[in-house]
Structure 1
């Protein structure tokens, strides 16, 4: 590929932010937390139960994810609820998990789920009867 077909150069600031996002994703607990948050917001205690980790450890991971602008919070009384910052973060985690599923044997779970919703097409003959 020559320089004329490439897009504009990436700004250093964007590259550094992307590196920080991947650094945050290089931890199994954080992947699990973001996976739990991809479709709904949750409290620290709900997340701790979901990932099987103590609340204080989950809080520390969430603080790092918040500083990296990967999650945002909403306060309700004395409880804080977390959610994924945007669909791009959720997509990164989903794509990483789906890619990992492809590395294992068999049909990946995300393909099995899609296949179960496909309705088979049954040809109908000219007389209106199925073949």
Structure 2
């Protein structure tokens, strides 16, 4: 059963909207909202990145929901949201949006940091980067 603070969990191949995440977490009990947006940058490891693709294992959405539930249970939060892109992304595109709300800012900051760190460590989503020099690499794949 999902923790009641979990309001939005999704993987999608369409652009992510920060406003959707903010709306999902809107409530009068939350004095603090911490939002993290991970974007596609133009470099990695000293090389120029020209684009990338995210691929998700079929279990990724279920795993993401489990991570959100654990984070909600571990922190004094009123809301949790996490949305991750799949497919082809360009430089500057939002790849992941996570946010938490809490009565006070400290709990929201701690929970959001835990959420993005645990998501990256445990949810089977893999990044395939393409570099300007014609090389490529997979990041996070088993």
Band of TM-score, shorter chain: under 0.3
Of the two, which has the highest radius of gyration?
Answer: 1
- The alignment's TM-score, normalised by the length of structure 2, stands at 0.23
User: Looking at both structures, which has the greater relative contact order when contacts are Cα pairs under 8 Å and sequence separation is at least 6?
Assistant: 2
Structure with greater strand share of residues: 2
Structure with greater helix share of residues: 1
